[in-house]
Amino acid sequence: MTLQNLTSPFRKGIFMEQTYVLLVLILAISVVATIVNPRFVNPQNIINIFQQIAILGIVASGVGMLLVSGHIDISVGSQISLLGVTFAMLVQRILGLPEGNVEPWRQALVYPIAIAITFGGGTLIGFINGMTVVKSRANSFIISLGFSTAYHGLALLVTGGASYMLFGRFETLGRGRVFHYIPISIFFFIGVVLLSHIILKYFRYGRFLYAIGSNRRATHVSGINTDRVVIQAYTIVGILNALAAIILISRVGSALATTGDQYSLDALASIIVGGVSLSGGKGGALNIFLGVVLIGLISNALIIMNVNPYARDFVIGLVIILAVALGQLSERQ
């Protein structure tokens, strides 16, 4: 019994191996960007790119694991917005405006309370999304589309359309750098990516996600409580969104009802470009990471090459279409 795969000829293989495709694309974009503007390869710029994609990476890791099980959550953007305004509102309510005097207990407890409530909210949102999808047996795309609008509405209700400012408080998480060089958020990003890689590859739970994505009924017959696994995956998404929201608000310094909206599309784009099939059962955390890098790279390269910034969404849209179309082609072969 040999362990090598005897069935993939090279031509087909190059399409199947999403990792190579991504690496080649990343390299190509980097080369072009460097030729146009040599500052692109400046270490500081590379670090900037990673800081810019850190939050996206955290969100995409959660949604990616969920998508491996064949379920989707397109409400992540408005979840982050809602959790972000919740966090900022709590901080402002507890500490008041910057001029006022703050009692010491408030100063001491504000962040533990705000962080705990935000994480609690993320957990609850994820759990509700998962329960609804599983119990209704409806298409998760449609359900999460509904939730997306509902959470957006809730965020508007909380803010009344205005923004909550942090007034320079709680900056370290989003803006701070270790040794004045590496942004703190990058450590969270890399940590979450590694964690999701380990879960998908070495944990029983990850195996169940792939199994459900491949064939939910057969997985159920094999004795796995598929409903519970899926609800847990949605809950993980909610928890990671809470983390993303806190880092995002810390970096931006204020929260609007729309602050996190872009993450729905960007996360989905990175995951699909990273080779997770929309029907589930395929993909890996490291490819999702490369997908995130690619999306971040495209945004950065366009800026550094002095392209009109409004072209970004247009280009990313084309990249998604290209990735999905190529994925379909390789599946049909």
Partner 1 sequence: MVNNDYILQMRKISKSYPGVRALDAVSLEITRGEVHALVGQNGAGKSTLVEIIAGSLHPDSGEIIYEGKSYTHFEPWQAINLGIQAVHQESQLVEDLTVAENIYLYDLPVGRGNIIDYTGCWSMGRELMGDLKINIAPDKKVRELSFVDKKLVNIAKTFSRPIKLLILDEPTASLDEQGKDILFELIRRWQANGLSIIYISHNIGEIFEVCDSVTILKDGKKVATHKVSDITIDDVILEMIGSTQATLYVREKKRPFEKNKGVLEIQNYSRRELIHDVSFQVREGEIFGLAGLVGSGRTELARMIFGLDLKNSGRLLYKGQDITPMSPYDAIQKGVGYLPEDRKVDGLLLSRPVVENITIVSLAKNSRLLLNLTEERREALSLIKQLEIKTPSLFQLVMNLSGGNQQKVVLAKWLLAAANILIFDEPTVGVDVGAKVEIYHLMESLVHQGKMIILISSDNPELVALCDRVGIMWNGSLVATLEGDNLTEANILRYAMGVNDSMEVRK
Partnered with residue 164 across adjacent β-strands are 255
Q: What angle do CA 168, 170, 175 make, to 5 degrees?
A: 85
Between CA 92 and CA 1 the distance in angstroms is 65
> Measured from the CB atom, is 4 or 306 closer to partner 1?
4
End-to-end CA distance of the chain: 27
> Measured from the CB atom, is 1 or 97 closer to partner 1?
1
Between CA 319 and CA 322 the distance in angstroms is 5
Q: In Å, how far are 19, 21, 194 from 25, measured between CA atoms?
A: 10, 6, 22
Min dist. Cβ of residue 289 to partner 1 (A): 21
DSSP 5-28: --S--HHHHHHH-HHHHHHHHHHH
Contacts of 307 (CB under 8 A, 6+ apart): none
> Measured from the CB atom, is 218 or 318 closer to partner 1?
218
Burial of 175 (0-12, 13-18, 19+ CB in 10 A): middle
> Measured from the CB atom, is 2 or 306 closer to partner 1?
2
> Measured from the CB atom, is 209 or 257 closer to partner 1?
209
Min dist. Cβ of residue 206 to partner 1 (A): 8
Min dist. Cβ of residue 186 to partner 1 (A): 27
Between CA 105 and CA 90 the distance in angstroms is 15
> Measured from the CB atom, is 108 or 221 closer to partner 1?
221
Q: Which residue ranges make up the site for partner 1 (CB under 8 A)?
A: 1-7, 202-205, 207-208, 210-211, 214-215, 217-225, 281-282
Min dist. Cβ of residue 286 to partner 1 (A): 17
Min dist. Cβ of residue 237 to partner 1 (A): 20
Min dist. Cβ of residue 63 to partner 1 (A): 20
